[in-house]
Structure 1
């Protein structure tokens, strides 16, 4: 069946079909043309992939993010980012990067970062004299931290595929790598800003003003503390944390920022349902796709082959980086996690690689895939926002590809970046 499954998938992706439909149709084609299994098996496997209590966290975190991204909350985060770094050379670009890092602690999604505060920052940067294509490329790069700084939908899915890690430990493991990526993208923006003369005309605000803006933004930023702290101290499970996040978001939006009215909730819930439906459809199709691979014995064959090569951990991690970066050219992170983690995680464990460390390597790799053609979702989201061709945005990406590649190498070969916080926090 594999001889039909993979060609069908690549052809459908090349034709521009959404990933979920491409995977589901390729599975149907493989079953129909090369097996005696009935097609109803695909539906069964898709349902089995979604019949999970921990997976309930995904739609609830999406709903919490939709509630928290109401205008007043987003503006509070943007104003704080601009107050902290907006006065430096390339200040509006720095504010774009810092706001993405802050917003990552609210949304857990790279696409939400780009579509929410990212699109607002692009308009601000263009009015401030930045080239529109550069502002879009910077937004693409800065949004990478969305699934890495907790809470993260991708980490929830990863923990379901690898029993050696927990959602809480992955949340803690992602903090320092997320900060590292943010710093390196800031460095890249500073260098480009010096070359192109992107100066900030805004003076540094008085400390009292920065403090006032920080206090105003604090309720939004406390969401990450509530989620991670509650999980760490055993107050609630990750799934329960997602529900609590919804109620906290409602409280903040309705009573603190007063940006949400009861009449707005049906539309907000509908948007969250559409996003969650798309995500869950991808996960269900990925489960059916992975089932074909398992019954064909492909994961076992690959695992035995790699183990027979007797690779050192360093060479194995280099090979994994190349594989995942190539895989990310054609596949989004969520199906990538569901297909590849059951194959690669046991091998990394056998080689003595820390499970949290390996998980962050996988997640960062696949998230970087969102910035690379031909299927990079961030490119198309931002392209739509700035009304530019994807190729124009890609032309501005090389400085940020260098920053992201540097971050990936440091995360890969400096394990303490991923393992220190889970260890000191007791995970």
Structure 2
């Protein structure tokens, strides 16, 4: 009955349209009253939930990504990707996927990826003879890579939701191979569609111009080197790499590229602060919700229920995948990570599944949810950029959903994809 009161009040509040963060907070208060827990204890959990040093990485990574997104980085990354793959048949779709790979390794955000890459490439692909719906589908599906490729904000949230017991560096490195596999799978699909539909080839860029484009893009790509190189070499932590990335992004944008105006900088910082504030409120209320779930022994009950269905870990993983896919279509990614990790992690640990591996499974599942109606944030952004109805974009995404599900199966049932590189590096 306790669990029904907590979870039922959360679902009811969400059903009437209340923001997820407030649903978590009010449901926690209702649950505390129900089991007669002092409100002081709930408030302590709220404060301790956001009073974590590791959370500093989130605002710094968000700010670095925002500076690079609005400072001309996306345009230069598109040009750089065009040098590498633009001359192939259907090359602009490959440029889109590759630019999303590069930009995801800088911003860590699928929404920022879709907005920046899409605003450049969707009109260009349409001008070159690609259907606008196809161009939008490529953009939104390619942006899911940003969920996996470091620096992923959601990897930081997963580490936090797991109680800080999982290294952020391990999660960052674990996402590299699955992220690249996702990009490769989408690229192969684009090549097949391009050949079938006879989409145009791009032009080979002259050597002198290509060298200039590459040199121009390298300044921005150094952000990726700073973030990953610093963490993997042990020179600095994830928090330190994020703060250094902000300094580097600011330097490149304002003094090298000089496409961004100084007077617009306060507005950018204001938008970043608003984004981070929303995330921090969500984290604080999720900490309260998780505390109540622990007191009510909900994780133990879920573990007993799932292990009672089967003792085969592959069957349990299939059930968890179905659950995550369904919930991912109904809720945004961040609250789901904060709510479900404390519930599902004990289950997978009992079955002998590595928590880092499970983190990648969760990321891929919920990343697919970002481009799936009815609550697909990235899908909405892509539709808005392309000025197309949601239904049109969703239909165009059908083959890309199939490709992403293949990647999900590979990541779920081939743990080495996630664990090989962290173990190789001793993380």
TM-score by length of 2: 0.92
Conservation of the 8 A alpha-carbon contact between 2:71 and 2:253: no
The aligned residue for residue 216 of structure 2 is 216
The aligned residue for residue 339 of structure 2 is 339
CA distance in 2, matches of 1:398, 1:94: 18
3-state secondary structure, aligned to 1:129: coil
CA distance in 1, matches of 2:151, 2:279: 16
Report how far residue 158 of structure 1 moved: 1.3
What do the CA deviations read for 1:368-389 (whole angstroms, capped 9, x no partner)? 1111122111111122222222
What do the CA deviations read for 1:89-134 (whole angstroms, capped 9, x no partner)? 2222221111111100110111111112223221222222222222
Conservation of the 8 A alpha-carbon contact between 2:133 and 2:392: yes
The aligned residue for residue 402 of structure 1 is 402
User: CA 1:43–1:124 in 2, change beyond 3 Å: closer, same or farther?
Assistant: farther
The aligned residue for residue 314 of structure 2 is 314
Mapping of 1:61-80 within 5 angstroms? 61-80=61-80
The aligned residue for residue 300 of structure 1 is 300
The aligned residue for residue 111 of structure 1 is 111
User: CA 1:306–1:173 in 2, change beyond 3 Å: closer, same or farther?
Assistant: same
User: CA 1:131–1:222 in 2, change beyond 3 Å: closer, same or farther?
Assistant: same
User: CA 1:209–1:363 in 2, change beyond 3 Å: closer, same or farther?
Assistant: same
CA distance in 2, matches of 1:14, 1:91: 44
CA distance in 2, matches of 1:392, 1:24: 36
What do the CA deviations read for 1:57-107 (whole angstroms, capped 9, x no partner)? 111111111111124222111111122222222222221111111100110
My pick for the range that moved more, 340-349 or 168-177, is: 340-349
The aligned residue for residue 46 of structure 2 is 46
* 1:132 pairs with 2:132: yes
The aligned residue for residue 240 of structure 1 is 240
Conservation of the 8 A alpha-carbon contact between 2:177 and 2:418: yes
Conservation of the 8 A alpha-carbon contact between 1:100 and 1:118: no
3-state secondary structure, aligned to 1:329: helix
Conservation of the 8 A alpha-carbon contact between 1:119 and 1:382: no
CA distance in 2, matches of 1:243, 1:379: 30
Conservation of the 8 A alpha-carbon contact between 2:126 and 2:135: yes
3-state secondary structure, aligned to 1:150: coil
Mapping of 1:26-425 within 5 angstroms? 26-31=27-32, 34-37=34-37, 43-162=43-162, 163-200=164-201, 202-309=202-309, 311-425=311-425
Report how far residue 145 of structure 1 moved: 0.7
User: CA 1:349–1:207 in 2, change beyond 3 Å: closer, same or farther?
Assistant: farther
CA distance in 1, matches of 2:67, 2:177: 27
CA distance in 1, matches of 2:379, 2:186: 17
Aligned Cα RMSD in Å?
2.2
Conservation of the 8 A alpha-carbon contact between 1:109 and 1:152: yes
Report how far residue 40 of structure 1 moved: 6.6
User: CA 1:44–1:374 in 2, change beyond 3 Å: closer, same or farther?
Assistant: farther
Conservation of the 8 A alpha-carbon contact between 1:105 and 1:224: yes
What do the CA deviations read for 1:126-150 (whole angstroms, capped 9, x no partner)? 2222222222222111110112100
CA distance in 2, matches of 1:214, 1:15: 51
The aligned residue for residue 2 of structure 1 is 3
Q: Which runs of 5+ in 1 are unaligned?
A: none
Conservation of the 8 A alpha-carbon contact between 2:290 and 2:342: no
3-state secondary structure, aligned to 1:388: coil
Conservation of the 8 A alpha-carbon contact between 1:302 and 1:343: yes
User: CA 1:25–1:376 in 2, change beyond 3 Å: closer, same or farther?
Assistant: farther
My pick for the range that moved more, 211-220 or 257-266, is: 257-266
Report how far residue 12 of structure 1 moved: 4.3
Report how far residue 270 of structure 1 moved: 0.8
CA distance in 2, matches of 1:113, 1:301: 39
What do the CA deviations read for 1:351-405 (whole angstroms, capped 9, x no partner)? 2323322211111111111111221111111222222221221111110110000
Q: Which runs of 5+ in 2 are unaligned?
A: none
Conservation of the 8 A alpha-carbon contact between 1:369 and 1:376: yes
